Structure 1
């Protein structure tokens, strides 16, 4: 099944994404968060069971709750779990928040399934070597697929029939690889939308390495983000 792909400027952050508190080391809502929120607004209806995988500050979990979803949020970071619980409490939204490895989401063990699974996972290609603790929120191995591949593999078990996965990542991490993997799992997958955004500090700091590996063209000063939409028939 093919999906209409839109390429447009990144939507401005929703107020739902602006009202979150963070601790150091917890991912800050950025352009990828806003792009994913715009896609989420087209999928969540009142009463939808929603899982936010790798919730970070809880911005997307809160947004899904404001759309009427019954939301569960998971993250491997205790700081992210604490911040999301605090943000949910401040907003008055009954979000379930758990600490779990996002490569092994809860549906795999509990058999719980969802109408919508949303994720902004780590996807930035990273050179070998030590990284500071906060980098695990974005760094994902030399090809950027350290988390993407296991998350895709788990998605078929997380979705109920008719359920939708929405996942954002950089085109550098292999858009077609994600679509092919999800299709191979029996899902109808494609690119829902794209946006080009200025390079942030992390990518600018490793431009020579990215260009040497052929992940970015010599003249490219922007990153392409994609939202992958996959549906379980």
Structure 2
């Protein structure tokens, strides 16, 4: 599948302008989403430490309800940038054998485990690791890797140094974690394994697809979502951030229209035979 075809494969699910939480039921400190008919709850005790799940991250969960979604049962999975534990909870509820929740933010481990327990799931099947992705080397490779990388460009004027920044903002024009995942995917993913990624159009989707398909990975778009750029937390610096994004768009490294962008739920399969469990 070519880079061009993967981006035009699926029609967009358009989320309403200016409405938050359209992919789930939200309350002041928690939200409820559905996966395979199960209703699951994600709470965030301190939104300044751990980002409340956004539609960008939830889009991949929504895509996992589709007909082309991979089988999550019995997999040994890695959740990169676990945050509040959204994907860890979803994977365990869907029947994953084990989930490793990796995040650079120590508050993520506490919140992820709390959400796993609150949903009545077996915490013994969860392993939380606090580490930069670049320094993490697992004892064994995973059947499935899932991630929603930070995708907004960094600028010193709005540097925060908190959990919100680590979840939304990344250096290298918003591509730092995407690049790290691509660079280290063979260290993390077993032959025949699956990489699931919520990929923002603000962070050069064609580059990621090209780099992985060149290595022989099979690429598929599960679904495409259109939504607002998450500027609310950076309202004071909106113009600075949009200027950076426009510079990237001018060089073909970002796609958006006004304050609207797309998130592609992408699935990549590593060549080779699955190792078996």
Name the TM-score class by shorter chain: 0.7 to 0.9
> Match of 2:200?
170
8 Å CA contact retained: 2:43, 2:115: yes
Give the match's secondary structure for 1:57: coil
Number of residue pairs the alignment of both structures matches = 230
Give the match's secondary structure for 2:145: strand
> Match of 2:81?
54
Q: CA deviation at 1:203?
A: 6.7
> Match of 2:50?
26
Which among 137, 144, 155 is matched to residue 106 of structure 1? 137
> Match of 2:169?
139
8 Å CA contact retained: 2:153, 2:244: no
Aligned CA distance change for structure 1 residues 78 and 36 (closer, same or farther; 3 Å): same
Q: CA deviation at 1:190?
A: 4.2
Aligned CA distance change for structure 1 residues 61 and 182 (closer, same or farther; 3 Å): same
> Match of 1:9?
14
Determine the C-alpha separation between the residues in 1 that align with 2:256 and 2:104: 35
Moved more, 19-28 or 168-177: 19-28
8 Å CA contact retained: 1:50, 1:69: yes
Name structure 2 gaps, 5 residues minimum: 16-21, 25-32, 272-277
TM-score (norm 1): 0.86
8 Å CA contact retained: 1:179, 1:228: no
Which among 217, 220, 224 is matched to residue 194 of structure 1? 224
| Per-residue deviation, residues 191-229 of structure 1 (Å, max 9, x unmatched) | 332111023225761223423443678962312112221
Which among 175, 181, 195 is matched to residue 151 of structure 1? 181
Name structure 1 gaps, 5 residues minimum: none
From the CA coordinates, give the structure whose radius of gyration is larger.
2
Aligned CA distance change for structure 1 residues 136 and 218 (closer, same or farther; 3 Å): closer
Aligned CA distance change for structure 1 residues 106 and 91 (closer, same or farther; 3 Å): farther
Q: CA RMSD in A?
A: 2.5
